[in-house]
Amino acid sequence: MIVRDLKEARNSERHVFSEGWDSVRLLLKGDQMGFSFHITTIHEGAELQMHYKNHLESVYCISGEGSIEDCATGETHAIRPGVMYALDKHDKHVLRGKTEMVMACCFNPPVTGKEVHGPDGAYALEVDEVA
């Protein structure tokens, strides 16, 4: 059984910071669950272009407001508490924080813990994750 406290994890190497967001990675690849689980804060006013070419992600909004734009279709969806979205086709997207948003995120395959978005908006895939 794995038990972690969000407050404690915020004060550890599991708390990762990047431009426009920060994320507490509560479950990582090393936990051997087959997915990773994060509590991510999207900063107010952030406009994040992302494209998870190597990972699938589902996201649930706990608090705050913003939007997500599907770059393939131009369609924009409002995000508010209670809204979930899943990037089931490695969807290239733009996430915008109207206010600070707190999100619960799940990644498959799991991330290792230190990833930040590359120039293409993606997390790199570890060589051993290809198998």
State which H helix or E strand residue 8 sits in: helix 6-10
Identity (one letter) of the amino acid at 122? A
Give the global pTM. 0.86
Instruction: Tell me the DSSP string of 50-119.
Output: EE-SS-EEEEEEEE--EEEEETTT--EEEE-TT-EEEETT--EEEEEESS-EEEEEEEESPP-S-----T
- Residue-level pLDDT at 123: 61
Token pair 């059984």 in the structure block, residue: 1
Instruction: Return d(Cα 58, Cα 131) in angstroms, integer.
Output: 22
* Residue showing tokens 């990675």: 25
Q: How many residues does the chain have?
A: 131
Whether 115 and 123 have beta carbons less than 8 Å apart is answered as yes
Distance of CA 47 to the CA centre of its chain: 14
Residue-level pLDDT at 128: 44
Domain edges within the chain:
25-112
Q: Answer whether residue 94 shows pLDDT above 70.
A: yes
CATH topology classification for 25-112:
Jelly Rolls (2.60.120)
> What mean pLDDT comes out for the span 85-113?
95
| Least confident among 4-8, 35-39, 41-45, 52-56 | 52-56
The pLDDT score that the predictor gives to residue 117 is: 58
Q: What is the pLDDT of residues 15-47, one digit of tens each?
A: 999 899 999 999 999 999 999 999 999 999 999
